[in-house]
Every structure is written in C-alpha cells, then in structure tokens.
Amino acid sequence: MDPLQPILERAKRDLKRIVFPESDDPRVRRAVSTLAEQRVVTPIVLDARQQVWPAGVEADGDGASREDREAVSEVLAGTLQAGELEQLLAQPLYLAAAMVRAGRADGMVAGAVHATSETMRAALRIIRPANEAQLVSSFFLMALREPTPGGETVLAFADCGLLPDPDADQLAEIAKQTAASYRLLVEREPKVALLSFSTKGSAQHEAVDRVRGAVERLAAAAVDFPFDGELQLDAALIPDVARAKAPGSPVAGSANVLIFPNLDAGNIGYKLVERLGGARAIGPLLQGLSRPANDLSRGCAVEDIVVAAAVTAVQAQQIPRHRG
C-alpha cells in the first residue's frame, strides 16, 4: 500500500475547495482531473484560456468569478491600495492566494511552474502567517521506497525550502511545527532528530552550537514529543549506530522527523533521497500560515500534485470554514 494513500482517504471525507493557479501546465491539468474524478478535493482552476475540464472542476474563463473577485477585493481593501490590489489580482498566483485569504477557496497549491520563492512570496504577502505562529517554515513528506531500519515508511524533512540559515530559536520552532505537521498528516507520533555533522559533542563548531541551543529550547518548552540532538544522520536512523554514538537517546535510531541545520543541508538532503534513493518527495509544504497554501517542486510528477492537494485539504479540515 502507498504510505501516502491514507492522506487521500482523509481528504475525501470532507471535500475542500483547492485552487490551482497554473492551469496551463499539463501535469496540473492531469492532476486536477484525477482529483475531481476520485473526489479527493473540489479543484478550482484559474483558467483564462477557457479549456475544457471534466465534471467536478470549477473553472471560469476570466480566471475567477466576479463574486470571487468582489469578495477578495473587500477583504484586501484595508491592506493594499486600490492600484496595487488591481495589479496583484491580475496575476493568477496572487489571485489564488487572495481567494484563500477571502474564504473563496480552502487552500492553494502552486509551484509546478513558479519558483518556490514566487509561491511563498504570494502566500506570505496575501494569506499571511497565523497570529500564533512564531515563523513560517516548510517541510517535505518523504515516502520511502523501503522502510528505515527503525520501520518508518514516511519521514518529514525540514526546513528544506524556506529559511536559509535558522538560528537556535528558529530551529526549535521548526521542530515544533514539523512535529505537529507529521502528527496531523501521518497520524504517527513524531520522533524528532536535530541533525548536525556532530553527535553528542563529537565535534565543536558554532553551527553545532546552534543545534545544541535548539535542543535546550525544546527542553525548556516541555514539548509533547521526544527529540534529541545534536545527531548525525546515521545515528538518527540506524539503531546499531545509535547504540554506539548516542546510547540512551529517546529518538536515535528511530527518528521520523529530521530537522536540518540549514537550507543547504535540507535541500541537498531531500533531493539525494528523492533522486538517488527513489523516495517520493511531497512539498515544500508550508506551516505557520493562517490558511493552507503549499508549494511544488518544478520537477514534480502528477502524483505529487495529487498528494499535495490532499495534504492541503487535510490541513484545511483543521480550520473552521470562513467563506464569505
């Protein structure tokens, strides 16, 4: 069984309206058709070309209905000047984000065409961070070809798409957010490893100090998930190595949430596992926004878009409906 299939099944229980601003991409068109046919979500496509879409897909020749545009304009009128608002809503990526902000859609999926920086800029500017969020970060769900020695088939990697060089406070917050996301989406208890090139003092460097500082902050916060660091990757995932390098660790050898020390390590790490290890990488998925919006790699497959939409729907299921 596909380890990500349960996410699709959960999405089907409470259909959400997910907007796709990249309707010209053939992968998006196929994914939207699949989502509608299998009733995973109700897709909304912003389609100025008036293409033919299957039953179950909401599309409009002007990109969005007049009702949607009026609702969006009303919600954003207090935060953007009229000229700026008009300019932004002419761009499908920003219009899609604005529809989510205004409650005309429950979530957004983009990034098959746009760079991650463009997708995230629209989400941050229009949808905005949640009031309680200390930061917005990203993570990948990695569906592995073979289970880890600890028996895990799905891992979460963070932050692999947004924060270039997080400090200790930010690393701790990324760990909290990703643990919560893993628990929500995978429905397993998170076991969080904060990664480094050092394990338990085997090396000294300011980069290692940041990871140790994050561990101290998690301990002070009395979080509700097991964690440890600093850990090298093999100590985090391989039980025999964990026993030698980090005896007594609550997560070493069995981690399922990996927190990378910076964006270089995270981005390179997920692509190695995906391209050489044969894992499916879903994301970068965003956490800390007021409403769900998720990114795609421009190298994504149709199946990745389908799962990203289901993830967005499950995230939206946690938020009260606010269509207006």
Q: Which tens digits make up the pLDDT trace of 235-258? A: 999 999 999 999 999 999 999 999
176-206 tens-digit pLDDT: 999 999 999 999 999 999 999 999 989 889 9
What pTM value is reported for the model? 0.91
DSSP H or E stretch at residue 84: helix 82-89
In a domain, 286, yes or no: no
- Are 170 and 218 spatial neighbours (Cβ–Cβ below 8 Å)? no
- Which tokens hold the place of 160? 């692999």
The total of structural domains in the chain comes to 2
In a domain, 208, yes or no: yes
Q: pLDDT category, 60, cuts 50, 70, 90?
A: low
The per-residue pLDDT for 104 is 87
- Are 142 and 272 spatial neighbours (Cβ–Cβ below 8 Å)? no
Same domain, yes or no: 23 and 98: yes
Note down the domain range covering 15.
Answer: 5-128+291-316
In a domain, 281, yes or no: no
Same domain, yes or no: 109 and 190: no
CA–CA separation, 188 and 111 (whole Å): 28
In a domain, 37, yes or no: yes
